[in-house]
Amino acid sequence: MVLFLLIFFLHSPITLAAKHPHKEKEYQSVWCAQHNGITEYILDDKARVDCLTEDYAIEFDFAYKWAEAVGQALYYAAKTNKKPGIVIIIEKERDKRSLKRLEILTDKYNIKLWTMTPSDL
Protein backbone atom coordinates (compact mmCIF):
# COMPACT_ATOMS: atom_id res chain seq x y z
CA MET A 1 0.00 0.00 0.00
CA VAL A 2 2.84 2.40 0.82
CA LEU A 3 4.43 1.67 -2.56
CA PHE A 4 1.12 2.39 -4.31
CA LEU A 5 0.77 5.73 -2.52
CA LEU A 6 4.35 6.68 -3.34
CA ILE A 7 3.84 5.89 -7.03
CA PHE A 8 0.53 7.75 -7.04
CA PHE A 9 1.99 10.92 -5.54
CA LEU A 10 5.06 10.84 -7.76
CA HIS A 11 2.85 10.75 -10.85
CA SER A 12 0.03 12.99 -9.71
CA PRO A 13 -0.88 16.15 -11.67
CA ILE A 14 0.27 18.28 -8.72
CA THR A 15 3.76 16.81 -8.93
CA LEU A 16 3.86 17.16 -12.70
CA ALA A 17 2.63 20.76 -12.60
CA ALA A 18 5.32 21.64 -10.08
CA LYS A 19 7.99 20.29 -12.41
CA HIS A 20 7.79 23.30 -14.74
CA PRO A 21 6.55 26.81 -13.96
CA HIS A 22 4.93 26.96 -17.42
CA LYS A 23 3.73 24.42 -19.96
CA GLU A 24 5.57 23.90 -23.22
CA LYS A 25 2.49 25.13 -25.11
CA GLU A 26 2.72 28.51 -23.37
CA TYR A 27 6.24 29.04 -24.66
CA GLN A 28 5.20 27.78 -28.08
CA SER A 29 2.20 30.09 -28.28
CA VAL A 30 4.14 33.23 -27.33
CA TRP A 31 7.18 32.56 -29.52
CA CYS A 32 5.23 31.40 -32.55
CA ALA A 33 2.94 34.45 -32.46
CA GLN A 34 5.98 36.74 -32.25
CA HIS A 35 7.46 35.05 -35.33
CA ASN A 36 4.25 34.92 -37.42
CA GLY A 37 4.17 31.14 -37.32
CA ILE A 38 1.48 28.50 -37.36
CA THR A 39 1.23 26.48 -34.15
CA GLU A 40 0.56 22.74 -34.23
CA TYR A 41 0.89 22.44 -38.01
CA ILE A 42 -0.34 18.95 -38.88
CA LEU A 43 1.69 16.85 -41.31
CA ASP A 44 0.25 14.24 -43.67
CA ASP A 45 1.19 11.51 -41.17
CA LYS A 46 -0.63 13.36 -38.36
CA ALA A 47 2.62 14.44 -36.65
CA ARG A 48 2.45 18.03 -35.41
CA VAL A 49 5.10 20.67 -35.98
CA ASP A 50 5.14 22.88 -32.88
CA CYS A 51 5.61 26.03 -34.97
CA LEU A 52 5.90 26.41 -38.72
CA THR A 53 7.24 29.73 -40.00
CA GLU A 54 8.00 30.90 -43.51
CA ASP A 55 11.51 29.43 -43.27
CA TYR A 56 11.57 26.99 -40.35
CA ALA A 57 9.89 23.88 -38.95
CA ILE A 58 10.44 24.29 -35.22
CA GLU A 59 10.35 21.90 -32.30
CA PHE A 60 9.91 23.19 -28.74
CA ASP A 61 11.23 21.21 -25.81
CA PHE A 62 12.48 21.52 -22.26
CA ALA A 63 16.26 21.36 -21.98
CA TYR A 64 16.40 17.81 -20.61
CA LYS A 65 14.74 16.61 -23.84
CA TRP A 66 17.41 18.19 -26.06
CA ALA A 67 18.26 14.99 -27.96
CA GLU A 68 14.62 14.28 -28.76
CA ALA A 69 14.26 17.83 -30.10
CA VAL A 70 17.02 17.26 -32.66
CA GLY A 71 15.31 14.27 -34.23
CA GLN A 72 11.92 15.93 -34.32
CA ALA A 73 13.27 19.17 -35.83
CA LEU A 74 15.10 17.27 -38.57
CA TYR A 75 12.03 15.15 -39.32
CA TYR A 76 9.69 18.15 -39.47
CA ALA A 77 12.10 19.99 -41.76
CA ALA A 78 12.31 17.02 -44.10
CA LYS A 79 8.51 16.70 -44.25
CA THR A 80 7.88 20.43 -44.84
CA ASN A 81 10.89 21.37 -46.99
CA LYS A 82 11.77 24.02 -44.41
CA LYS A 83 14.93 24.51 -42.39
CA PRO A 84 15.06 22.76 -38.99
CA GLY A 85 14.76 24.83 -35.83
CA ILE A 86 14.60 24.24 -32.10
CA VAL A 87 13.40 26.46 -29.30
CA ILE A 88 14.90 25.01 -26.13
CA ILE A 89 13.35 26.02 -22.81
CA ILE A 90 15.84 26.90 -20.08
CA GLU A 91 14.32 27.03 -16.60
CA LYS A 92 17.17 26.11 -14.27
CA GLU A 93 20.90 26.69 -14.10
CA ARG A 94 21.54 22.99 -14.67
CA ASP A 95 19.68 23.21 -18.01
CA LYS A 96 22.71 25.00 -19.43
CA ARG A 97 24.57 21.68 -19.50
CA SER A 98 21.91 20.30 -21.85
CA LEU A 99 22.10 23.48 -23.92
CA LYS A 100 25.85 23.01 -24.43
CA ARG A 101 25.26 19.46 -25.67
CA LEU A 102 22.51 20.64 -27.99
CA GLU A 103 24.69 23.41 -29.42
CA ILE A 104 27.22 20.80 -30.61
CA LEU A 105 24.54 19.18 -32.78
CA THR A 106 22.81 22.34 -33.94
CA ASP A 107 26.16 23.68 -35.14
CA LYS A 108 27.12 20.41 -36.86
CA TYR A 109 23.76 19.84 -38.56
CA ASN A 110 22.85 23.45 -39.29
CA ILE A 111 19.79 23.56 -37.04
CA LYS A 112 18.70 27.05 -35.98
CA LEU A 113 18.55 27.32 -32.20
CA TRP A 114 16.65 29.74 -30.01
CA THR A 115 16.23 29.71 -26.25
CA MET A 116 13.38 30.78 -24.01
CA THR A 117 13.16 31.23 -20.27
CA PRO A 118 10.15 31.87 -18.02
CA SER A 119 10.95 35.59 -18.17
CA ASP A 120 10.16 35.53 -21.91
CA LEU A 121 6.49 34.86 -21.21
Does position 43 have pLDDT exceeding 80, yes or no?
Answer: yes
The 10s digit of each residue's pLDDT in 69-108 is 999 999 999 999 999 999 999 999 999 999 999 999 999 9
The predicted model gives 50-60 an average pLDDT of: 98
The 10s digit of each residue's pLDDT in 56-67 is 999 999 999 999
This prediction has a pTM of 0.83
C-alpha separations of 99 from 31, 54, 68, 77, 96 in Å: 18, 25, 13, 21, 5
**Residue 21: its pLDDT value, please?**
79
Domain locations in the chain?
22-120
